[in-house]
Chain A
Amino acid sequence: MSVSDSISWLDGDSEGPLDQEDAILDHAALVESLVSGDPDGRAAFYDTYGSYVERLLVRVLGPDPEIEDLLHEVFVEALANIGRLRDPARLKGWLTRMTVFVARGTIRRRRRHRWLVFVPSEELPAQTSPSTPPEARDLLERVYGVLRALRPNHRIAFSLRYIEGMTLPEAAEASGVSLATFKRWLKGSDEAFLERAERSDYALYETLLETPRWRPHHE
């Protein structure tokens, strides 16, 4: 199912909070330019939200060779469906939900195919900066190694809440579910993450239980 065939959330009737960060952006003008197919509008749209969407995809999927394609896919779908956005002020929230939807679809597709393939497509070297310390690269690989084993909704909930740092209402809105449902997902993700870490990466599990991070909490 493509993003275009998906459900009514694309209609942009979100009840979620307005994003204060891009409040100064003239959403109405931007959306109008996108609807009319203005190339400058398309460039402005990408320049405004490109890094945000990329960051969300990286948060959910981790080090992944398909991030570039998925980033492109999110914007292609957004541009194709911009006419359904009723409230331009909700543009960022709408785009967030689309991003999470694309990421979830990718996760589900890979899970369906996982038992059919020899080489897991996600198990590739971590894409980190050359200056990233080895311990940090190791941490990324291990955390996403555990996350890959979780159910898609649990993985999404964990990534949005703990890695991206969204509040519960924000994360529920981004996931396209009620707050109560998201809280259930999150509770499930906590338990699933710990159980999986305990079974498959005991050092990570005990690090979680017994030691603080390498850096102090307050600086």
Chain B
Amino acid sequence: MSERLENLGAEVARVQDETLGDDRRRASVRKRLLAGSDSRHPQAPWKSWRPALGFATACAAAVAILLSWPSAPGPVGYRVDDGAEISAADEPIVASDDQVLRVRFSDDSWIRLTPGSRAHVSELTAVGASVMLEDGEATVYVRHRKETRWSVQAGPFLVRVTGTRFRVGWSASTQSFELEVFKGKVEARGPKIEERIVRGGETMHVTLRPDPAPKPADREPEPSPIPAPPAQRVHRSPGHAPSEDAEFYRPPSPPPPVATATELPEPSHAEALTPEPPEIPEAQEPQTEPEPEPEPEPTSPALAPASATRPTWEELFSEGEHEKALAVLSPEQVEEAIWRGDSKDLLDLGAAARRTGDARAGYIYSAVRSRFPGTVEAANAAFILARMDFHTGRLREAATWLETYLRERPDGRFAREAAGRLVEAYQRTGDESRARIAAERYLERYPKGPHAELARSVLQ
């Protein structure tokens, strides 16, 4: 995370440096200093009476608070998206198939359900809530307070929380449970796991079926495809809908023992990939982990400690070492990771590739789109591909990816930025008619947004 903060800081500095090129402020100070002036500019008159007015207001507010102070705290309430506050339990909460759903609680905790997920709040107390995740996936943030007591039940698994952020999933169809803790720790219990503490950076995956399917079973292509060498790639416009993307990759001949290859979209940045087809392991069943070294605490396959020998991609991903994965793993292992890792890991891998200048970044994001179509992660990958194209001057391609993102996630968290960048992309490519349409759409939704001025200039 430090590196991400450094990157953010460097970007802020870059923007500030543009302003610092203007020396009028320095010139003014120089003049004052050399004139021997030791005084500040006179304050605006209204500033001098602000404190007194503010103090009076604060006193009035304090009186109002004392008069209305409740005698005892009531139970936590919640809102679904921006709806009215609900204080009753057992109301069904269902996310539509194409949109994330946010549930905000009055203790500042929140839950985000992925599209198609179903849940309900089974209990509301003064110190927390109990939520039942019936099916799907939720990211959960619980605001820590002294007496916080929260729990999330996912199928037959129970996760107790006192203040943390984690992701939990339960698939009723595949009977699989997944838990990833981002921060803090939680206590999980359920079939096969007894009672287990899971800490920040750790993940847990349990399948109750006798023959567990590969994770995530409903998303992986069957069987894992082998990407074609660059010469065989077909470049297509990224604007195609996901279902049309199935024909882009052609596996090299002869294919390994794989009945069919699921063909996948060509990334718009198919740069510097390995010239020879990588060798993918033949086994299609999930590989069994080697027996972990004896540990003081009980372990499970999903929480096996890092091997003393060369790390596997699973181990590196579980430790958040995506940059290291790109650096130390063989191209074949990276390839396997791309086609077997989960969507969040792939986004992290793509981000690591971009940070290190690894040319596989575009390929990784394209794989996210292909493997997890219709998901938030796939939409985000489209947005990132737009950014990459935008920077390299491929504005038409950037515009197509931005349109894709906005079509898939019209209310997504990058929607405003995407809509603004779209205006910019069309304007800079000279596509006036599309620029006008994008500008009108932008101003309708974001009349005071950062790109509003640009949009208005396009419409003049």
- Interface on A for B, CB 8 Å cutoff? 39, 42-43, 46-47, 50-51, 54-55, 58-59, 67-69, 71-73, 75-76, 113, 115-119, 121, 127-129, 131-140, 143, 158-159, 161-165, 190, 193-194, 198-199, 202-203, 206, 208-218
Contact = CB atoms under 8 A, between A and B. Distances in A.
Interface in B389-425: 390-391, 413-414, 417, 420-421, 424
B413 A202 contact: yes
B26 A50 contact: yes
B18 interface: yes
Given A73-B40, A116-B50, A165-B13, 18 more contacts: A42-B33, A55-B20, A58-B19, A72-B29, A116-B55, A116-B58, A118-B53, A134-B420, A134-B453, A139-B12, A143-B12, A162-B9, A206-B413, A208-B8, A211-B387, A213-B11, A216-B388, A218-B357
B309 interface: no
B141 A50 contact: no
Interface stretch (B119-127, B270-278, B326-334, B348-356): B348-356
Contact of B58 (A50, A115, A218): A115
A136 B15 contact: yes
B82 interface: no
| Chain A to chain B: the 6 pairs with minimum beta-carbon distance, closest first | A162-B9, A134-B450, A116-B54, A218-B357, A138-B450, A163-B9
Interface residues of B, number: 70
Given A118-B50, A118-B53, A128-B15, A143 B8 contact: yes
21 contacts: A50-B29, A51-B26, A58-B19, A67-B25, A75-B29, A116-B55, A116-B58, A117-B54, A121-B47, A129-B21, A133-B424, A135-B450, A198-B141, A199-B108, A203-B414, A210-B380, A211-B383, A211-B387, A212-B384, A217-B7, A218-B357
A161 B3 CA distance: 11
A214 B390 contact: yes
B354 A68 contact: no
A58 B21 CA distance: 12
A43 B29 CA distance: 11
A59 B383 CA distance: 29
Contact of B16 (A43, A59, A210): A59
B84 interface: no
B103 to A, nearest CB: 14
A72 B32 contact: yes
Given A165-B10, A202-B413, A58 B29 contact: no
B1 A42 contact: no
A68 B348 CA distance: 42
B297 interface: no
B18 A128 contact: yes
A113 B9 contact: no
B356 A218 contact: yes
A119 to B, nearest CB: 7
A68 B387 CA distance: 36
Contact of B351 (A55, A133, A159, A211): A211
Contacts, number: 180
Contact of A212 (B7, B17, B451): B7
B211 interface: no
Nearest to B357: A218
Contacts of B7: 212-213, 217
B34 A214 contact: no
A17 B243 CA distance: 60
B454 interface: yes
A92 to B, nearest CB: 17
Contacts of B108: 199
Contacts of B453: 134
Nearest to A128: B19
B50 to A, nearest CB: 4
B5 interface: yes
Contact of B25 (A59, A71, A163): A71
Given A51-B26, A115-B58, A217-B355, A59 B13 contact: yes
Nearest to A212: B354
Interface in B408-460: 413-414, 417, 420-421, 424, 449-454
Interface string B26-68: 1011101110011011000001001101110110000000000
B192 interface: no
A134 B413 contact: no
A51 B390 CA distance: 32
Contact of B9 (A134, A138, A161): A161
A216 B384 CA distance: 11
Contact of B33 (A46, A158, A202): A46
Contacts of B51: 113, 116-117
A58 B17 CA distance: 9
B347 interface: yes
B6 interface: yes
Contacts of B57: 118
Contacts of A210: 347-348, 351, 380
A68 B25 contact: yes
B29 to A, nearest CB: 5
A210 B5 CA distance: 12
B22 interface: yes
B4 interface: yes
Interface string B360-387: 0000000000000000000010011001
A132 B41 contact: no
Nearest to B23: A51
B288 interface: no
B342 to A, nearest CB: 13
B287 interface: no
